[in-house]
Structure 1
Amino acid sequence: MDKLSYNRKQATGSRKSFALRWQLICCTFLGLFLLSQPAFAQQQNVKLSNKTLAVAQFFHEIEQQSGYLFVYKDSDIDPKSSVSFGQTTGTIAYFLDHFAQTHALRYDITNRKYIVFSRKTATPTATKQVSGTVKDASGEPLVGATIQQKGTANKTITDADGRFTLNASPGTSLVISYIGLQDQELKASPNMTITLSDDVKALDEVVVVGYGTVKKADLAGSVSVLDNKAFKDQPITRVDDALQGRIAGVHVVNSGIPGGEMKIRIRGAGSINRSNDPLYVVDGIVRESGLTGLDPEDIQSIQVLKDASATAIYGSRGSNGVVLVTTKSGKANMKQVSFDAQFGFSNIAKRYPLLNAYEFATAYNEAHPGTFGQADLTAFQNGEKGTDWQRAISQTGFTQNYKVTLTNGNRDTQYYLSGNYLSQTGTVLSTKNERYQAKLNLTSNITPWLTITADVNASHNVRNMVNFSAAKTNILWLALNYSPVTNVMDNAGNYSHDFYNAITADNPVGSLKLNSGQSRQDIFNGRIDLRFNLLPGLTFTTTNGVDYNDTKYYWFHSKRVAEQSSMTNHDGQRMMLQSTNNLTYAGQWGLHGLTATGVFETTQSKYRMMHISGDNLLTESVGWWNIGLAKSKTSDNGYEAWALLSGVGRLMYNYDNRYLLTTTFRADGSSKFFKNKWGFFPSVALAWSLGNEKFMQQQDIIQDSKLRVSYGLVGSQAISPYETLGLMKQVGYAYGGSTKYTGFWAGTSRATPDLTWEKTHQFNVGIDFATLAHRLRFSIDYFNKTTKDGLLKKTLPQYDGGGTYWVNACEVVNRGVDFTIDAHILNQKDLNWSSSFTGSYLKNKVTSLDNIPFVQGYSPAVGLMGDVTRIVVGQPIGAFYLYQWTGLDATGHDTYADLDGSGTLSEGDRTFCGKANPTFTLGWNNQLSWRNWDVNLFFTGAFGAKRLNLMRYFAASMNGASKFITLKEAYYQSFGKTDNPIYPAVNVTNNNYQGASTKWLEKADYFRLDNITLSYNLTKQQTRFADVKLSLSCQNVFTLTGYKGLDPSGTSFMDTSLGNVDINDGIDMGAYPLSRTFTFGVKINF
């Protein structure tokens, strides 16, 4: 005879079995009596300790949080078996329904105490069987979706591949549902493909907020979430690329170089002299190595913390925003092997219009008659002599990207294992990038109260380096200015020198072939989490991790293309250790909900480096492995270390899902400072969920509306570890005569014991709402971000030893608006279209420099011109400071506005005339699906920025025998060649050329189709072995812009070692050319 059980005590023996029978009888009569009473509050929220639990543990946790007991037959339920859910937080009804469905049970629930499970009465077999697949809007299969015949108990759920089979007659109504997605009602057919779109329940989505998670509906701060579905089918090889245009308030500048640097700014730049890079946190561990070495395919989601309420949890490192990355992990009861391969080729999308050899020789003869004879001109015209240098340095790029992943697990242990190989050959000779990467995530439920997670990510990156910096050795600058009448090699087989543009010292092709540079970067990231479930709602998690980065640089320059041979080796290792201990309590009392978090954290970072270089090498056969054969050698080494001690507290209060309060306080103690080691960073956020108010629920125009407001203080400790200490140097100074007295003095690095944190105060107000039955969602934020106590460098007088020192003096304000619009435009049986539009308006202004007149920018071409940007009060960071070009005079010379009235061109004639950073940026992502076809269209744009096109300036300049024009329009639109000339005559030597003038300053507005991807899906039934997705993509399809350079979004200043990089944004001195790439991909899920 079957036994009945309830979970608190297992019924054994005849006495307990008899008692349970009476309990069942009493429960049945009590249930009949209470039929007229209100139903059990099945909408009460509960939180499970894990998504996969033993049945007995599942019953126990429900009982502890609700006070109810379970009653069942032992023959119906095995308490030692496991049950899995798609989430850990939800209503009691959700968990009970899911459990009953997966075990073919029904249950009755009383108003007082008992939940009684019993076996279902067999459903009569339908006349026919229907089957199909259920997917989400991005095409991913949905596991555990419910398919139910309307008005009956006949239902089933999908398996791990999203497939189902149900006994139902064709034409009957089926209701398909899934947590977080919108239900659909369809007519049954033999083979169905069903796509579910987002629903209002998406507000239950869990958002990572730093040291914890929170439901999206309970979020009071400004946090943007980017799910991997937004970019998973696009040929993205770097995680940084996924942020551009997909998150409001985030601006990404890509160098374009394979494996090269990227620059990310969140709500503008607040620091003048220090880094404005955000903080990167991957699975709870801060990464000083940034996002390098991560494979986008391993990313589950990205959260960007933007306002101070969200970033204050990271205190002294949160002033520039925080990028939280959550990587993939294993899943219980789901085994999957995936293989992903991509092959692509790329070419330069745009080239400068330059003179060919015949045009150059013709123009040169006008300025220097008789230089080229008729034989030369004929040879140039027939293509027998001369070089197109832009094409000579370019090649067809090729990309290979291979990925293998294995996901598996049971109720106790889950793992995710992946490996990746990436090879990218650039569109410029000698540019190449390779990445070898592997990741393992392992989670094990050791006991009901202890879960251990181990995660490791290792990568080896090799990148060939070519000079694209802002200097005369920039390879693109050389290609534009090398005269086209010069052959690549002379008759003796040597690389030719340019006798007509002598300013260009190095042969562009020779420089690429003979010179070499390489960076080798080994990154290892690992962490171990121990999560203890101490009491219902109370957890303690200790996370210990390491971020290790070993970077080596090698350079070699051949004397065959330079004045002398040289080599450089650099090796630097950085290791950061982090230990985070987190105690969190989450509880619900009636209408009141509270989550309290306390964190104690320690961080230690160490860096050491060694640098050697040599000149005049005796032999070049071994390249940079040549230091012993150098006639002159220099070497340097260094070591630094710093530590951070932190305490964090956060309270999140929720009243009736209507009124939300989040308060955060963090204290950081940093070894980098002398006196002011401790910084304190509070924040507060309030939110009102209007959508849950009764008066809002009585209308159907606006749904899910929520008002948010926050204010907080965050900081920056972006100084060197010993920068507040004074260093002695030997100095000499003459007092009243020629005799110089020598001694030691703290001049170059004066002690600054009062130096303190840069502090950012931020106010944010936002609103979220949906309309058109949740098909259209808006999120709008206004922010005011003020950075105070910014670091500013001051100069000491020579009588005091000279040199510079740092003070906290400047102030920068960033104001703007971020907004996101998500729309489900079409949701039909075969055709679906979803769209997401992000936009950001930003105004940046310097409001204080402590009475310093200005901060000077970098000289983009040392020896050729001075600075072109400056920082002054009232202007944005990166404002151009130039002469105003007014056209040509009657003799064909450039003229400029005489602003100071001196009658001559002087420093007083320069003025501010534009900025480098855009005022408005946008991104527009579109996902369309029709049957088995998917199409993605992704657009980006930026408006309000300007670029100083120094490439055009140099290609249009003349200077006697050392420099002549190569730009086509500089000849055909020159004085004497057209009625409206903009360039001097080619025979003019002293033409008043000024690189620092508005003649070369251009609008850099653009709108770009960044990516288009076409995919076709084949099911396992079609291929007989696996699900297969085939895709074809094109990146940088077209760009609408008036900018005459190669890329309106590019910049020559990506190397942060130059310092002040935000001052010099917008200078185009030969940035890597924009490439158009075609990629074919195949993804196989076994």
Structure 2
Amino acid sequence: MASVCIVRASPCRGHLAQTVSGKVTDENGQPMTGVSVLVKEGKAATQTNAAGNYTLTLATPNSILVFSAVGYEKQEIPVNGSDTVNAQMKAINNSLNDVIVVGYGTQKKRDVTGAVVSANLTDFKNAPNANIAQALQGTVPGLNVGQVNSAGSTPNISIRGANTISGNSRVLIVLDGIQYNGSFEAINPDDIASIDVLKDASATAVYGAQAANGVLLITSRRGKKGDKPRVAISSSYATQSPRGNIRPMNRAEYLQHIRDLYYEEAYLGPDYTQPNPNFNIASRVDPSLKNTSDQLLPNDFSWWDAGTRTGSIADHQLSVSGGGDKVNYLISVNYTDQKGFIRNDDFKRKGIRVNLETQIASWWKAGIQSFGSFVNKDGSEPSVGGLFTFAPLAVPYDTAGRLIPYPFNTNLTNPFHGYYTDDLERHNYFFANLYTEISIPFIKGLSYRLNYGNNYRINQQYNASIYGAGLTGSASKEFESYYDYTLDNIVTYNRAFKKHDVNVTLLYGAVERNNDYTLSNANGFSRLTLGYNSLELGTNRFANSDAWSEALAYQMARVSYKYDNKYLLTATLRRDGFSGFAANHKYGTFPSAALGWIASNESFMKVSWLDYLKVRAGYGISGNQTSRYFSLSRVSSGAAYVFGDGGSTVFGQQVQSLANPNLRWERTAGINAGVDFALFQDRLSGSLDYYQTDTKDLLFNVNIPAITGFGTISTNVGNIRNRGVELSLTSKNVDLKNFTWRTTVTFSRNVNKILQLIGSGDMTASSLFIGKSINSLYGYQANGIYQLGETPPAGYYVGTYRVADNTKDGNITPADRVILGYGEPAYRISMLNSFDYKGFSFTIFFNSVQGGKNGYRGSNSPTKIRDDNGVRNNYQHTIDFWSPRNPNGKYARSAVSPTITPTIYQDRSFIRLQDVSLSYRFTGAWVNKLKFQNLNLYVSGKNLATWTNWEGWDPETNQGLTNDGRPVLKGYSLGINATF
């Protein structure tokens, strides 16, 4: 009886075969190397070679072959007497085969040896975000992204802990392979395909001098070879309003505040809780809040309501993409219109992107990745602090509707002065990376790529106000242009030899940056009809200008080596030169090395529950460059001379800082150890990292005696250590045909410590202490509030804070100051749940920052005294001030200012329901008939709820019970995505 052929077998033979061979491919038909092939219940085993082929000698022709590879479903195929058995593997953990951008090249995730993570953009695509950085909040452990509270703004971004005191703390942004120094406001979120985060020194060392604070690698979308033309349209509209109920006091609350300030008059002693019927509050109210009859004005005006509105975001996208054998392309246009909660907080962005690539020959391709973005921020807001400060008895306009310039009859201007400014603010961004890549025809695996990147931006801010310069009228024109170019020469050699896989990257490049700035302004206009376009009409005219340039040159060599699909090595050496450093230290060298072991590919690790296990460790050094010119003597200008008695003051120049020809690079050396894993047929996957970095030669401006003729000198002062742990876990809780539920949890913790400063002592004046965090909060400690019946010591009064005598010497001196807490959080944690049921998709994302016992503290000290401003001004209505009626109040309120008022720090810990999205993808005959490739309708929400004990504005913005804060906005959006 003839045997049965299995899986692409060659024609069957009628005799028993002792040797079997075949080829193993992936889902795309590409050969797979390193696939384990063994005989079930036997000892024979082998692996596929670089071409995906294998040969195996069998003890019996009725054997069953078992094919296994990391990240792929295990296959069992009976031989059934055939001498050829091919297999096509099906991926179970597709993320391991994802291509990650690692700087000047790409790698499969499974082969990466450093701490490199791809951000999850897919689950946050429908969120109402005008800025791409908002989509990164809480999604990547170790990547810390703050909140925004104005239209189109970019949040603070940091990676892992602080590595510097006063040096550059910016994360390096690389867009399509080119260093990007523009703002995120210019980047259209819909144009972004991926964002990869380089966190450890072994990964960031390829960028050397600028990478101490981590790197974000942003890759834009492009057309794909073989794709038919695709037209994608999306449109959404979101409303935005403040989170929480923060407002200034209304009339009744404001008047009660004044009574509490004058409690000894407004209430009867001795406990001052019973109202005094003879108290005339009008006698204590600011005169500007009374009429000519010395009576209170009848108003209960809400300045806050008048200066705010319901915000919105309208976003519209159109793109065309596709590709053939010779050309692939993506062309997109976009328009975003965001109206912030504060009136005239407007942000409009129009943009166009063109990404083209052509295959000129089989060995030669060229292309361009480019965009233009045009940002409009016209309009000047009313003063946010003023909207809170002005009392509800005052109004902004007189009975004729004219603006009252000084409602308090002081130099405090009407907050709507700015609102009525003729304001033009434009930011135009232009970016292009022109590249060509040649695969050397006569040396297999060798290629050369040339990148020529250009960044250019123009900033314009023109304004004119009839209320400026003390109501004499003012106008100005501010113009700034910036240009940089990047020229990178990249040689890559990539080959596989049997069990060896080698990738070599060589780089030689340069960057030059130039900036020009001019400000012209005038005041004292008899008429402002022509506004800022006729500054010569002003009585007083001024001009300021500035310019700078800087240059970098660098070389880099990187070797990535893989043996037997198990053992990984990455070694990098980069050398950087920067024009801003001192003559004796223009260049720095930054090495790194990392090892990886794919343990799950070892024969002794072949267990049913383990899909993938990689252990990795790396060490590297990266640099942090100083600001330009810091090593040189710098000159300042100002009032310098008076010639003769009663003579006029003449402006002059004087040397401000002392040159330091030995100013060195800050150098951050770091180790990172981590594991990546996938378990139970990819039901549970994740990564765990531990790191430690030491930054030496910290850049710091040290004050020097004025007798030297200088104020400061920039120098290298000490060392900082950062330690941390990061965890990311993804579980497939339910994985059915029509329903899936997936959960991702991230956790990160970072602790920094100062190891050394100048000499061996602390820098108390700068709150820098050896062995403590660089964000130590140092000061006097409050120990309650002095109450009625107590006798405060000299210089202190009833209602003021009791300062802790920590030295127990009976006196309050600077020696009583202590560390009150730390600015950094104890840990960050987030959780994303994604549900899919037929055409429905639902995601819900919680983000949290926790301070632990003494961490993540912020200043929250709304102390008030009974002076002119304390009586006149308005404040947030929820502030728990002390008074005899409220003896347990948190915050001091007294008649006289005490000798010392301690700063009160509060815990900023919070849990936030940050993102929620529900979408439905339409299917059916009508969708196909209308030629839709995709039709999706969604609703989403952002910042819907926040749980915190922090008082005042949002804890993440570190703005508390102040008048000049801004609210974080919650939003609801409705949108549609369609692809033809």
TM bracket (short chain): 0.7 to 0.9
The code of the aligned residue for 1:237 comes to A
Judge conservation of contact 1:313–1:665 (CA < 8 Å) in 2: yes
- Of the three residues 381, 390, 401, the one matched with 1:493 is 401
The code of the aligned residue for 2:787 comes to A
**How far apart are 1:854 and its partner, in Å?**
6.5
Q: Aligned with 2:258: secondary structure? A: helix
Judge conservation of contact 2:243–2:970 (CA < 8 Å) in 1: yes
The code of the aligned residue for 1:889 comes to Y
Cα offsets for 1:973-999 (capped at 9, x unmatched): 6322135344556xx42153966512x
Judge conservation of contact 1:939–1:1009 (CA < 8 Å) in 2: yes
- Of the three residues 775, 785, 788, the one matched with 1:878 is 775
In the alignment, is residue 829 of structure 1 matched against residue 743 of structure 2? no
- Give TM-score, length-normalised by structure 1: 0.75
The code of the aligned residue for 1:1073 comes to P
Residue equivalent to 2:23: 42
Residue equivalent to 2:344: 430
Judge conservation of contact 1:263–1:277 (CA < 8 Å) in 2: no
Residue equivalent to 2:592: 683
Residue equivalent to 1:630: 538
Cα offsets for 1:871-908 (capped at 9, x unmatched): 33333233323321212223332221134567565544
- Of the three residues 291, 303, 307, the one matched with 2:200 is 307
Tell me: CA distance 1:416–1:974, structure 2 relative to 1, closer, same or farther (3 Å): same
Cα offsets for 1:424-456 (capped at 9, x unmatched): 000111100010111111111111111112111
Bigger CA drift: 397-406 or 838-847? 838-847
Residue equivalent to 2:805: 898
Tell me: CA distance 1:1014–1:728, structure 2 relative to 1, closer, same or farther (3 Å): closer
Residue equivalent to 1:385: 299
Distance 1:948 1:92 in 2: 54
Judge conservation of contact 2:469–2:523 (CA < 8 Å) in 1: no
- Of the three residues 1008, 1015, 1027, the one matched with 2:919 is 1015
Distance 2:406 2:304 in 1: 15
Aligned length: 881
Q: Aligned with 1:364: secondary structure? A: helix
Tell me: CA distance 1:571–1:659, structure 2 relative to 1, closer, same or farther (3 Å): same
- Of the three residues 373, 376, 387, the one matched with 1:479 is 387
Distance 1:297 1:252 in 2: 19
The code of the aligned residue for 2:690 comes to Y
Distance 2:18 2:773 in 1: 67
In the alignment, is residue 214 of structure 1 matched against residue 214 of structure 2? no
The code of the aligned residue for 1:1036 comes to N
**How far apart are 1:564 and its partner, in Å?**
5.8
Q: Which runs of 5+ in 2 are unaligned?
A: 1-8, 36-51, 56-71, 79-86, 266-278, 642-649, 789-797
RMSD over equivalenced CA pairs, Å: 3.8
Judge conservation of contact 1:344–1:1080 (CA < 8 Å) in 2: yes
Distance 1:425 1:1035 in 2: 16
Residue equivalent to 2:507: 599
Q: Aligned with 1:1035: secondary structure? A: strand
Tell me: CA distance 1:961–1:671, structure 2 relative to 1, closer, same or farther (3 Å): closer
Cα offsets for 1:649-700 (capped at 9, x unmatched): 1111111111111100011122222221111000010111111111111x22
Residue equivalent to 1:351: 245
Residue equivalent to 2:700: 792
Bigger CA drift: 919-928 or 724-733? 724-733
In the alignment, is residue 1033 of structure 1 matched against residue 940 of structure 2? yes
Task: Summarize the alignment of residues 438-517 of structure 1 with structure 2, pairs less than 5 Å apart.
Answer: 438-464=352-378, 475-496=383-404, 505-508=412-415, 510-515=416-421
Task: Summarize the alignment of residues 700-715 of structure 1 with structure 2, pairs less than 5 Å apart.
Answer: 700-715=608-623
In the alignment, is residue 911 of structure 1 matched against residue 804 of structure 2? no
Task: Summarize the alignment of residues 332-731 of structure 1 with structure 2, pairs less than 5 Å apart.
Answer: 332-334=225-227, 335-352=229-246, 354-365=248-259, 367=262, 369-372=279-282, 385-464=299-378, 475-496=383-404, 505-508=412-415, 510-515=416-421, 518-534=424-440, 535-556=443-464, 558-559=466-467, 565-673=473-581, 674-697=583-606, 699-720=607-628, 722-727=629-634
Distance 1:925 1:594 in 2: 38
**How far apart are 1:463 and its partner, in Å?**
1.9
Bigger CA drift: 354-363 or 491-500? 491-500
**How far apart are 1:497 and its partner, in Å?**
6.9
Residue equivalent to 1:1083: 977
**How far apart are 1:91 and its partner, in Å?**
5.8
The code of the aligned residue for 1:874 comes to G
Distance 1:750 1:936 in 2: 56
The code of the aligned residue for 1:896 comes to V
The code of the aligned residue for 2:314 comes to Q
Distance 2:746 2:816 in 1: 40
In the alignment, is residue 930 of structure 1 matched against residue 837 of structure 2? yes
Judge conservation of contact 2:221–2:330 (CA < 8 Å) in 1: yes
Tell me: CA distance 1:282–1:33, structure 2 relative to 1, closer, same or farther (3 Å): farther
Cα offsets for 1:209-262 (capped at 9, x unmatched): 111111111111110112532322333222211221111101112332112232
Distance 1:180 1:573 in 2: 53
Residue equivalent to 1:298: 191
Distance 2:445 2:879 in 1: 77
**How far apart are 1:798 and its partner, in Å?**
2.5
Tell me: CA distance 1:897–1:178, structure 2 relative to 1, closer, same or farther (3 Å): farther
- Of the three residues 667, 676, 681, the one matched with 1:768 is 676
The code of the aligned residue for 2:926 comes to Q
Q: Which runs of 5+ in 1 are unaligned?
A: 1-27, 46-84, 94-108, 113-144, 152-176, 182-198, 468-473, 734-741, 858-868, 1053-1065
Tell me: CA distance 1:926–1:511, structure 2 relative to 1, closer, same or farther (3 Å): farther
Distance 1:418 1:743 in 2: 52
In the alignment, is residue 224 of structure 1 matched against residue 133 of structure 2? no
The code of the aligned residue for 1:238 comes to N
The code of the aligned residue for 1:688 comes to W
More relative contact order, 1 or 2 (CA 8 Å, 6+ apart): 2
Residue equivalent to 2:724: 816
**How far apart are 1:178 and its partner, in Å?**
10
**How far apart are 1:836 and its partner, in Å?**
1.6
Distance 2:313 2:921 in 1: 23
**How far apart are 1:723 and its partner, in Å?**
2.9
The code of the aligned residue for 2:673 comes to V
The code of the aligned residue for 1:514 comes to Y
- Of the three residues 906, 924, 933, the one matched with 1:1002 is 906
The code of the aligned residue for 2:728 comes to T
Tell me: CA distance 1:328–1:632, structure 2 relative to 1, closer, same or farther (3 Å): same
- Give TM-score, length-normalised by structure 2: 0.83
Judge conservation of contact 1:278–1:321 (CA < 8 Å) in 2: yes
Tell me: CA distance 1:481–1:912, structure 2 relative to 1, closer, same or farther (3 Å): farther
The code of the aligned residue for 2:883 comes to F
Distance 2:556 2:214 in 1: 17
The code of the aligned residue for 2:917 comes to T
Q: Aligned with 1:844: secondary structure? A: strand
**How far apart are 1:1072 and its partner, in Å?**
2.2
Distance 1:466 1:935 in 2: 39
Distance 2:970 2:311 in 1: 10
Distance 2:31 2:631 in 1: 49
**How far apart are 1:636 and its partner, in Å?**
1.8
The code of the aligned residue for 2:840 comes to W
Distance 1:1045 1:970 in 2: 8
Judge conservation of contact 1:594–1:652 (CA < 8 Å) in 2: yes
Tell me: CA distance 1:785–1:465, structure 2 relative to 1, closer, same or farther (3 Å): farther
